[in-house]
């Protein structure tokens, strides 16, 4: 229910912004309606801040012997440029395992469920790796929600069936059959007078999917 509130709020703000642009372009729209749209956007903005979902995570380094065998076999079948390091993440309602390594000078994270089921691949990239039109949509949404913010990290997220993901990685990302692409953007911003970290997820077309406030408690420094 909480996630639905966040998604509805953001989508409503985006629609409000789009409607507002139309209103300014159409002289037949009255000033009263323009003011109403502006007030509605402000209301939804405050609603988003009030109902923002939190993401608690405690992440720490583990040994290979602690990783589910099915997850180990997945990662062992892929060639990386660096040693694979394993981490365990404990959230409010989940436990996941994550393999971190470098390939083609990019940081890769492969996440698995508690029983070793493949979940997703995340590759940290620079902003330049996002198509300019998609990046424009993403920044417009972020600015609408947070007037002042800083992009701290951008990751391309790949999801799909286990075999499709393996093929994708083995063929150097040239085979994307069965793979869904998303963009994960982590920003720092100020809410209620406090600095916070927010995680946003966007579709391959730059559409808003979800957002969470990050409450992180890492036992040690993550390295690759």
Spatial separation of the C-alpha atoms in residues 197 and 148, rounded to whole Å: 13
- Determine the pLDDT at residue 100: 98
Give the Cα separation of 191 and 146 in Å (integer).
9
The pLDDT-based confidence of 35 (bands split at 50, 70, 90) is very low
Which pLDDT belongs to residue 12?
55
In whole angstroms, give the CA distance from residue 77 to residue 104: 17
187 or 217: whose pLDDT is higher?
187
Please report which helix (H) or strand (E) contains residue 142, including its range: helix 132-145
Predicted local distance difference test score (pLDDT) of residue 99: 98
Q: Each residue of 139-169: b (16+ CB within 10 Å) or e? A: bebbebbbeebeeeebbbbbbbeeebbbbbb
Q: Answer whether residue 27 shows pLDDT above 80.
A: no
Find all residues with CB under 8 Å of 105, minimum gap 6, and list them: 81
Residue 28 pLDDT greater than 80, yes or no: no
User: How much is the mean pLDDT over the chain?
Assistant: 81
- How far is CA 188 from each of CA 124, 196, 221, rounded to the nearest angstrom? 17, 6, 19
- Under the phi-then-psi rule, with left for phi > 0, alpha for psi from -120 to 50, and beta for the rest, what region is 163? alpha
Is 37's pLDDT higher than 50?
no
Average pLDDT on 170-190 reads: 92
Report, as an integer, the average pLDDT of 126-137.
95
Does this model's pTM top 0.85? My answer is no
Q: Which of 113-117, 146-150, 191-195 has the lowest mean pLDDT?
A: 191-195
Of the chain, the percentage scoring pLDDT greater than 70 comes to 71
């Amino acid at each position: 229910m909480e996630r639905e509130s966040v998604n509805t709020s953001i989508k409503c703000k985006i629609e409000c912004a789009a409607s507002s642009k139309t209103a300014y372009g159409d002289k037949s729209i009255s000033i009263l309606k323009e003011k109403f749209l502006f007030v509605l956007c402000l209301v939804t903005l405050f609603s988003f801040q009030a109902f923002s979902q939190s993401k608690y995570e405690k992440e720490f380094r583990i040994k290979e012997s602690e990783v589910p065998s099915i997850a180990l076999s997945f990662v062992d079948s892929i060639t990386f440029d660096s040693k694979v390091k394993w981490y365990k993440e404990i959230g409010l309602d989940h436990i996941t395992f994550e393999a971190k390594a470098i390939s083609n000078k990019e940081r890769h994270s492969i996440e698995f469920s508690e029983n070793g089921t493949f979940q997703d691949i995340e590759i940290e990239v620079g902003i330049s790796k996002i198509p300019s039109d998609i990046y424009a949509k993403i920044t417009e949404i972020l600015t609408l929600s947070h007037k002042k913010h800083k992009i701290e990290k951008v990751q391309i997220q790949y999801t799909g069936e286990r075999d499709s993901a393996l093929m994708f990685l083995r063929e150097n990302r040239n085979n994307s059959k069965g793979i869904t692409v998303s963009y994960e953007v982590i920003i720092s911003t100020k809410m209620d007078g406090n600095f916070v970290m927010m995680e946003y997820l966007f579709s391959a077309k730059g559409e808003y999917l979800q957002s969470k406030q990050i409450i992180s408690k890492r036992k040690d420094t993550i390295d690759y």
